[in-house]
Copies of this chain bind each other. A is one copy, B any other.
């Protein structure tokens, strides 16, 4: 085993951010260049830690505080298109949650629903019809387009495990695996120069859609055991608003009464005393998060009625 390291080849560090907010029951992600890129930039070395560098960078650019920051993944693949000439680029991506969207306007930094990039991930109104109509048929072709029987079997199994049959067995956490499968099958424009019949969903440049998929997957997995959605909500909200928020992230509908039962069983929120009557029906009580409990749950775990992985 080699002794402790000397130096290695010089590389450049690039930061990528998946910034998430919730507006109008849609999970929004901050994009640049007409939706083709995630915000990214060089790592400013004046900051003591990566995390603080990311936070400062994002906050300076968006004028909004970042509620939550988490490292996603570090890529250093040679085939990254972003490499400049000979220099190797290491890209470190982060997931950030913020409470409100910044300046609206369709100008360049633009919030877009992540379901524009991954329309098949939205099962809030039931199984996404795209899957049965467009994705599965094309994947099926790819699944049999290999000489080796073992390889064919493996492809079938991957299709089955990630997309199910289009109606049952949907696991909302497998966002990245599904994107990677589509990529390998050559069904997304990023995969190769000319894709005959791409699956619906807006592409991004470089590997940014893959990074976005990583972020969505991480967030979907996270909300099941850490109350991070708290970072995305306004100070006061109704339980239905909270439910819609979680549903937007998870891309699945939830049972209303059970959702409420779990939320208050865990004591995550407390009524403010006020109530709203924004909509038609009976006015809803307003709630706020209980800071102590949220902090505690950040370690101890939360639960959501989202447990149908099988």
Contact = CB atoms under 8 A, between A and B. Distances in A.
Contact of A12 (B7, B44, B73, B171): B7
Q: Ordered nearest first, which 6 A-B pairs have the shortest CB separation?
A: A8-B42, A10-B10, A7-B12, A74-B74, A2-B41, A50-B76
A257 interface: no
Contact of A1 (B13, B45, B108, B157): B108
Interface stretch (A80-88, A143-151, A228-236): A80-88
Given A1-B32, A299-B177, A48 B162 contact: no
Contact of A11 (B13, B78, B300): B13
A85 B107 CA distance: 43
A11 B10 contact: yes
A50 B247 CA distance: 35
Contacts of A50: 74-77
Contacts of A49: 76-78
A123 interface: no
A133 interface: no
Interface string A12-48: 1111000000000000001011000101111111011
Given A6-B42, A13-B76, A74-B71, A171 B300 contact: yes
Given A43-B8, A76-B43, A310 B299 contact: no
B8 A45 contact: yes
B42 A7 contact: yes
Contact of A109 (B1, B162, B296, B310): B1
A77 B79 CA distance: 27
Contact of A299 (B4, B71, B162): B162
A226 to B, nearest CB: 12
A90 B53 CA distance: 14
A161 B296 contact: yes
Contacts of A161: 296, 299-300
B9 A14 contact: no
Given A1-B62, A301-B309, 6 more contacts: A1-B32, A8-B13, A45-B88, A48-B79, A90-B90, A162-B299
A300 B309 contact: yes
A269 to B, nearest CB: 19
A12 B13 contact: no
A47 B40 CA distance: 25
Contact of A310 (B9, B15, B41, B300): B300
B90 A13 contact: yes
